[in-house]
């Protein structure tokens, strides 16, 4: 059995604030990143140029987020 079903990757809870609210955010139809609405942290941007690349970019963005490649929002204190 070789099912090629792609399951959506799981987005891990935010490493900065530990809330499980992060989601994929698309930027003007050319790049995607994972964004945490609670603290404003985000993964690196992954750009794409087609529908096929879009899925790949989404997976990459989630991978980056899950690996902890997160850009934390800098806030004035
Ligand atoms: Zn957060």
Give residue 43 CA to ligand 1 midpoint distance, Å. Answer: 11
The span from the CA of 34 to the CA of 44, in Å, is: 8
Domain that holds residue 42: 28-71
- Any domain includes 36: yes
Cα(25) to centroid(ligand 1), Å: 14
Domain membership of residue 45 (yes or no) is yes
19 within domain boundaries: no
Q: Is the Cβ–Cβ distance between 42 and 71 less than 8 Å?
A: yes
Q: Is residue 13 part of a domain?
A: no
Q: What are phi and psi for residue 43, nearest 5 degrees?
A: -80, 175
The pLDDT tens digits along the chain (77 residues) read 556 666 678 999 999 999 999 999 999 989 999 999 999 999 999 999 999 999 999 999 999 999 999 998 766 55
Report how far ligand 1's centroid is from the alpha carbon of 15 (Å).
7
Residue 8: inside a domain, yes or no? no
Q: Is residue 40 part of a domain?
A: yes
Asked whether residue 59 is assigned to any structural domain, the reply reads: yes
Q: Residue 9: what pLDDT? A: 84
The total of structural domains in the chain comes to 1
């Amino acid at each position: 059995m070789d099912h090629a079903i792609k399951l959506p990757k799981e987005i891990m809870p935010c490493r900065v604030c530990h809330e499980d609210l992060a989601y994929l955010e698309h930027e003007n139809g050319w790049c995607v990143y994972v964004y945490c609405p609670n603290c404003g942290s985000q993964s690196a941007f992954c750009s794409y140029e087609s529908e096929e690349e879009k899925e790949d970019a989404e997976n990459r963005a989630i991978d980056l987020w899950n690996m902890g490649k997160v850009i934390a929002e800098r806030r004035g204190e």
